[in-house]
Structure 1
Amino acid sequence: MAVLIPRANRFDSFDVYRTYYKKIKNHEIEVGILIPKDLKPGLHPVFVKFHGGGCVSGTWSYPDWFANWLVPLVHRNNAIVVSPNYRLLPEHTGNDIQADLADFWTWFKNGGVTTHLATLNIPLSLDYTRVLAGGDSAGGYLALQSGLTQPPDTIAALLGCYPMTTYLRRAQMPLFMGEPSPPASIIDAHVAALAPGTVISGALPRPRNRISYALFAYGRYKEFFGEGEHLWPISILSAASPPEVMPPAVILHGDKDTAVSIEDSRAFVEKVREVFGEGFEVRLVEREGVDHGFDMDVSEGEEWVRDVVRWVEERWIR
């Protein structure tokens, strides 16, 4: 039966643990571990889930951004969710985020999760041959970056929900989330108020979503994120020496997305096929008439979701 779980309750069926994979001075960059309450001891697949937020806001511990249809996907496959935070704009840069991503995967592959579980006397192990990497928006971006930068045997499949594949641009609007849109000055005011050495690696959407809007709408995203072909999936593929392979990938995107253009996903899929060949396993699932975050409250009862889930499971669980 298709069930819609209230957003605030998306983690209720899991035992939730937190640790950290990296420390900057005294600041711990957290990683969440979600284990189904009925999971039995043994070897289990892993879903590495990156949170969204435009690389400006978001945190692994915010259940509202864990899509409804992902909950039964995890439970049915007896999987463990591993969800890292990472440093955020405008306090940090795209290079900082790439460093966190690389350090997370090093920690993960070196047994960071199982070491932490062992300290809690939890007899579970990770099946490193069955790792799904996914996320929404900025989380989808980090999943794709992972697939393009990690060794080929690290990730079995990629799931990108309306992922950022290049720099974000959005039109200025009179209203943002039902309120008057913030002025451009909000960015400089925020930066000026920061204490020296501030580290931010997780933050609830409000009020930082207003900073996110300002960075995109007033053309200042690159200024804080930085530039370089290594920073974006589309430019990694366009480089003189692109990767030789990447995991099979499915991308979901709404054609009315006002935050991340569907054209970016179309261009990415086209580039993947150009680089790896027309037969490479990459799918773009386009949904008509829907905006950013359209899948947050859908269930497996919808046929298109069942189709995506089948595709993912065939490559992830095998």
Structure 2
Amino acid sequence: MASLFPRFDRITLVYKRLRGTDFLAAALIPKSLSTEEKMSCPVLVHFHGGALINGTLEPAYLAQWPLELAESKGAIIVSPEYRLMPEANGAHILEDIKDFWAWVHKTLPIAISGLNPNLTLDLDRIATVGESASGYLAMQSGFLFPEAKVRVIMAQNCAMYPDVRMYNSHPTDPLEKENAFVDAYLKQLKPGAMRLSTPFPTMIDFALDYCLRTTKEIPPMWIAQGTEDHIMPKEATDEMVKKIKETRPEVPLLYSVQLGDHGFDMGHKLSEAWLAEAMAYVGKYWP
């Protein structure tokens, strides 16, 4: 796995154990960081995408620009596993994210300094980044878990929000074929089954206003969206952004719209004008 990120040293840590299963988090440390000088490093938490039903830390889920961002800011990237559907449900996944954040603040600094005594984590400078379903997790980290101390949220193609009308519509015709597919899979599951990592595109066939009103404080957000997204349509993200602005007008929010389909930003670099504008905005709050 380290060869996939040649400019980073990759270490694997256990952030939680459940029913005999280790839940892993990958830490990517820029090789550009000095090993001889004491440094206080900001943290960039990345959640992998995959519709909450597949995914792992691999190039299919990590764009070029977050790697460049981490290098330019001297930040350490941390990316956790979490339980995947349909073996798990949404509550299980958010429980994993909550446990991950507790581990970040209690244990991760000790683990990093144990590997390199000159590196310390600045847990007052945390940002989250995620794409698609993981954009949802990046946002929920700021909405649901104030103890995470997220300074800014960066989410791409992330219109997975329960109050968006587009996702509350019900088909008039029964989805017999689709339901049979899901039912057959669920029927063969053994009690207590868990999946923490499934490479893309395995199981891709599964993928297809409460928080705003109850959360005391929401971090600043940058949301990016592709105009031709066939999975998370721009219209849904437009509606979500409008709802956030109307319900919580005090929350700083930058909305970037670019040509392209789902995952349009994968090959983009920080030097591009639209990302430079977004990073200037993010830079007001992090690191």
Q: How does 1:117-266 map to 2 (within 5 A)?
A: 117-151=112-146, 154-166=149-161, 185-212=180-207, 216=208, 234-237=209-212, 239=213, 242-266=214-238
1:74 and 2:70 are equivalent in the alignment? yes
Deviation at 1:300, TM superposition (A): 2.3
Aligned residue pair count: 273
Matched residue, 1:292: 262
CA distance in 1, matches of 2:148, 2:178: 46
| Alpha-carbon separation, structure 2, partners of 1:39 and 1:149 | 32
Confirm or deny: 8 A CA contact 1:244 1:276 kept in the other structure.
no
Counterpart CA distance in 1 for 2:22 and 2:53 is: 18
**In structure 2, what is the Cα distance between the partners aligned to 1:10 and 1:313?**
27
Pairwise CA distance, 1:153: 7.5
Aligned partner of 1:276: which letter?
Answer: R
Residue in structure 1 matching 2:100, options 95, 99, 104: 104
- How many Å apart are 1:75 and its aligned residue? 0.3
Q: Normalising by the residue count of structure 1, what TM-score does the alignment of the two structures yield? A: 0.79
For residue 19 of structure 1, the aligned residue among 13, 34, 49 is 13
Deviation at 1:150, TM superposition (A): 2.0
Change in Cα spacing, 1:311 to 1:95, as seen in structure 2 (3 Å) is same
Q: Report how far residue 284 of structure 1 moved.
A: 1.1
> Is the Cα–Cα contact under 8 Å of residues 160 and 252 in structure 1 kept in the other structure?
yes
Name the structure 2 match of 1:95.
91
Q: Give structure 1 regions of 4+ aligned residues with deviation exceeding 6 angstroms.
A: none
Q: Does structure 2 conserve the Cα–Cα contact (< 8 Å) formed by 1:15 and 1:34?
A: yes
Structure 1's 10 and 311: CA in aligned 2 closer, same or farther, altered over 3 A? Answer: farther
In structure 1, runs of 5+ residues without a counterpart are: 1-7, 170-181, 217-233
User: In the TM superposition, what is the alpha-carbon distance from 1:67 to its structure 2 partner?
Assistant: 0.5
Q: Is the contact made by 1:10 and 1:68 (CA closer than 8 Å) also made in structure 2?
A: no
Residue 263 (structure 1) shift: 2.4
Tell me, yes or no, if structure 1 residue 33 matches structure 2 residue 33.
no
RMSD: 2.3
Q: State the shift of 1:265 in Å.
A: 2.0
C-alpha contact 1:51 1:139 (8 A) present in aligned 2? yes
Identical-pair percentage: 31
CA distance in 1, matches of 2:67, 2:32: 13
Secondary structure of 1:316's aligned partner: coil
The residue type paired with residue 9 of structure 2 is D
Asked if structure 2 preserves the Cα contact closer than 8 Å seen for 1:101 and 1:146, the reply is yes
TM-score w.r.t. the length of structure 2 is: 0.87
Residue number in structure 1 paired with 2:170 = none
Q: Give the letter for the 2:25 counterpart.
A: V
Q: CA deviation at 1:121?
A: 4.7
Q: 2:142 touches 2:219 (CA, 8 Å); kept in 1?
A: yes
Q: CA deviation at 1:10?
A: 5.1
> Structure 1 residues 152 and 310 mapped into 2: Cα distance closer, same or farther (>3 Å)?
farther
Contact conserved, 1:265 with 1:284, CA < 8 A, in 2?
A: no
Give the CA deviation at 1:246.
0.6
Give the Cα–Cα distance (whole angstroms) in 1 for the partners of residues 283 and 7 of structure 2: 21
- Structure 1 CA distance for aligned equivalents of residues 119 and 257 of structure 2: 37
Counterparts of 1:191 and 1:116 in 2: how far apart (Å)?
A: 38
Provide, for residues 242-290 of structure 1, a one-character-per-residue CA deviation record: whole Å limited to 9, x for no partner: 223211101000121111122232222222222222x5311111113x1
Mapped to 1, the partners of 2:200 and 2:261 lie a distance apart of 18
Aligned-partner Cα distance in 1 for 2:60–2:226: 19
Q: Secondary structure at the match of 1:105?
A: helix
Structure 1 equivalent of residue 247 of structure 2 = 275
Between the aligned partners of 1:300 and 1:107, the Cα distance in structure 2 is: 30
Q: Distance in 1 between matches of 2:279 and 2:241?
A: 19
Q: Secondary structure at the match of 2:201?
A: helix
Cα deviation code 1:79-104 (max 9, x no counterpart): 00011111110000001011111111
Match of 1:220 in 2: none
